[in-house]
């Protein structure tokens, strides 16, 4: 028997409720949550299914799940807060905050190059394991010592994991605190948002188990091992089964391991779609739309438009998102957040059954389409 959906849904968004009901019933979603905040009102807050398919543990109102690269949007909230205070400047060299980063020809890499995935430091040049990356400061030191893989600023190459280590170290140098600490003290605690970067052991029983995606069909042995794609996505390989381990949950991997649900993601990200929500200035929010790259991403392999810390609308990477004053990003498997400033709306979807695509996943597209269809009806 399908568990759910539970929660609330404005009648105008009945199609979103129907979609979640259908996907839980046919197995397209094992467990999931979806939330929409529009003009300050939560119009959709739904959840259902199983948090753990093997044990039958239900997905409840308070279930958490790893959000993979959606975490980067939370990291960007911290950046915008520090930008507001004048503690960070996207146009400053990274070396202003982190002098060691100037090594190996990186003295002219700007902070905006990191935020826009154009720095050339998309991953680690030396072999690393996930255990290496859990120790975030030494892992960041490794990035500081290496050469960029392409001319900084010359197009993007998605910083899949390194984004969090790079931004996290810059934040630590400026504030003296870890990025997870700043996120908690400045955003999640004051807003009462159930989102965690560095999750305590007391949360373990609420974390959903991921259902690994089917094979992507990519034959890695046929690819150039020196390509940005292979070096970024296979060093290390991130296996979904590690995401409920205590070591993974404890670490503050600010690019990939935030734990939350659609409600907490929407609550935090709606600051972007609602003029900063009193936490950020409108001018800081507008910096998100400073275009950094507009072309085929070296790692993602699809046309992607990156602003500062977010992607901007592009029909190739996420056709469901319309053109407009919109910023968004997704996580491996299909989690997504969309901030639509034109409509004062934030859409969030988090789940445990994963799609194999890094961007443009069918599950994410289905929910985004359903929300916009409701607005057009």
C-alpha dihedral sign at 171, 250, 254, 325 = negative
How far is CA 51 from its chain centroid? 20
Sequence-separated (6 or more) residues with CB below 8 Å from residue 19: 366, 367, 370
- In 5-95, at which residue ranges do the beta strands (DSSP E only) sit? 6-9, 31-38, 41-52, 57-58, 65-66
182-216 pLDDT, tens per residue? 999 999 999 999 999 999 999 999 999 999 998 87
State residue 216's pLDDT score: 76
Q: Distance between CA atoms of 99 and 365, rounded to whole angstroms?
A: 42
**What confidence tens digit (pLDDT) does each residue in 277-308 have?**
999 999 999 999 999 999 999 999 999 999 99
Terminal C-alpha separation, the chain: 32
140 vs 123: CA distance, rounded Å:
10
**Cβ distance 120 to 155 under 8 Å?**
no
pLDDT band at 2 (very low <50, low <70, confident <90, very high): low
Per-residue pLDDT tens digits for 4-33 = 899 999 999 999 999 999 999 999 999 999
201: how many CB neighbours lie within 10 A of its CB?
9
Contact 37, 270 (CB under 8 A): yes
Strands (E), the chain: 6-9, 31-38, 41-52, 57-58, 65-66, 259-260, 293-296, 303-306, 311-312, 326-330, 336-340, 345-351
Q: Are 372 and 320 in contact (CB under 8 A)?
A: yes
Q: Per-residue pLDDT averaged across 67-81, rounded? A: 98
Residue-averaged pLDDT of the chain = 97
Q: Tokens in use for 178?
A: 């870890």
Q: What's the burial of 257, exposed, middle or buried (CB within 10 Å: 0-12/13-18/19+)?
A: buried
Tokens of 247: 């070591």
Domains of the chain: 6-40+50-76+194-376 (3.40.710.10), 87-179 (no CATH)
Total residue count of the chain as it appears in this document: 377
DSSP 8-class letter at 208: P
Indicate whether this model's pTM tops 0.95: yes
Q: Which two tokens stand for residue 149?
A: 């893989």
């Amino acid at each position: 028997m399908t568990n759910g959906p539970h929660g609330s849904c404005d009648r105008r968004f009945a199609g979103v409720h129907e979609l979640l009901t259908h996907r839980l019933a046919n197995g397209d979603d094992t467990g999931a949550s979806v939330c929409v905040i529009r003009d300050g009102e939560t119009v959709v807050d739904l959840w259902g299914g199983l948090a753990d398919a093997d044990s039958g543990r239900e997905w409840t109102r308070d279930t958490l799940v790893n959000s993979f690269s959606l975490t980067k949007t939370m990291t960007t909230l911290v950046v915008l807060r520090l930008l507001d205070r004048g503690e960070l400047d996207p146009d400053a060299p990274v070396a202003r905050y982190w002098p060691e980063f100037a090594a190996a020809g990186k003295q002219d890499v700007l902070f905006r190059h990191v935020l826009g995935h154009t720095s050339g430091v998309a991953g680690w040049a030396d072999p690393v394991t996930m255990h290496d990356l859990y120790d975030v400061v030494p892992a960041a030191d490794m990035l500081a010592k290496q050469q960029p893989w392409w001319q900084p600023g010359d197009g993007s190459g998605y910083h899949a994991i390194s984004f969090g280590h790079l931004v996290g170290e810059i934040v630590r140098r400026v504030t003296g605190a870890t990025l997870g600490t700043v996120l908690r003290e400045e955003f999640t605690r004051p807003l009462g948002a159930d989102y965690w970067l560095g999750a305590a052991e007391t949360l373990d029983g609420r974390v959903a188990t991921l259902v690994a995606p089917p094979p992507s069909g990519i034959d890695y042995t046929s690819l150039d091992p020196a390509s940005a794609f292979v070096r970024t996505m296979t060093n290390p390989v991130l296996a979904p089964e590690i995401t409920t381990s205590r070591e993974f949950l404890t670490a503050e991997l600010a690019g990939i391991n935030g734990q939350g649900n659609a409600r907490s993601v929407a609550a935090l990200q709606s600051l972007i779609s609602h003029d900063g929500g009193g936490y950020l200035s409108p001018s800081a929010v507008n910096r998100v739309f400073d275009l950094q790259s507009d072309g085929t991403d070296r790692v993602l392999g699809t046309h992607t438009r990156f602003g500062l810390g977010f992607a901007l609308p592009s029909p190739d990477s996420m056709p469901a998102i319309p053109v407009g004053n919109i910023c968004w990003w997704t996580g491996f498997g299909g989690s997504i957040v969309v901030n639509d400033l034109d409509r004062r709306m934030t859409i969030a979807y988090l789940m445990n059954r994963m799609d194999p695509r890094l961007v443009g996943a069918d599950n994410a597209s289905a929910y985004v389409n359903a929300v916009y269809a409701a607005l057009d009806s």
